[in-house]
Amino acid sequence: MRQTQLPVSRRSAALLRGALSGAFIATSSGLIITMAGAISQDLFGSDVKRFRLSSLYATGLTLVLALVTASQSITDTVGYVFAFSASTLFPVLVLGIWWRGATAAAAVCGITVGAGLVVGAAVAHYVLGRPAGALGDLLANPAAVTVPLVFTVVVVVSRLRPVSVRAAEQFIHQIHRPDDVETHLAVPVRTQR
């Protein structure tokens, strides 16, 4: 049996393709597991059977989104992913950590408004194409408007439904000084001896 010798450059290219494929599969499976864990824990409870069901949902959702956006530019898709993150997580995290008046209801409202607006802008951009002028720029870059709007929603809802100042101060202290939290909690923490 005669073996064909590949040139060094072709062998290197084959090795590189194999490494890239492995990295892609590892990253994809890690993201699916992360999504499945979040779905399972938040919606169904935390047992193995429900985790497996959640991983099927996460994989199906990812495949549907990939098929729907297959004809779109990857830069547009990545831009919408960053806009989604900036419009949902950023305002809630900043206000939740640094402002004592932020409430859980306001965080849910802010995340819902941010997600809805960015998804709406993405769907409109994909359905309408890119309209000319300011509307086209807004649909292509929704975070320029949605991030300040979500900050406003969280502040307004927090002001309409305030939380007790004592509970907020304890939570803020716990986040900023976790090593000193035992001395400032309303309920004493039992230590093991």
How confident is the model over 152-169, as pLDDT tens digits? 999 999 999 887 667 667
Tell me if 143 sits within 8 A of 79, measured CB to CB.
Answer: no
Do 20 and 34 form a contact (C-beta atoms < 8 A)?
Answer: no
| pLDDT given for residue 193 in this prediction | 47
pLDDT at 136: 81
**What is the structure's pLDDT at 87?**
93
Helix, strand counts (H, E) of the chain: 7, 0
Give the model confidence (pLDDT) of 96-137 as tens digits: 888 878 888 899 999 999 999 999 998 888 887 777 788 888
Structure tokens at 15: 């090795």
**Residue 8: pLDDT band by 50, 70, 90 thresholds?**
low
Residue 40 contacts residue 54 (beta carbons within 8 Å): yes
Under the banding of pLDDT at 50, 70 and 90, the label for residue 49 is: confident
Confidence (pLDDT) at 165 = 66
Mean pLDDT of 171-179: 70
Show the DSSP H helices in 1-103 as ranges. Answer: 8-39, 48-68, 74-98
Residue 15's pLDDT is 86
Does 188 have pLDDT greater than 80? Answer: no
pLDDT at residue 45, as a whole number? 74
pLDDT at 180: 61
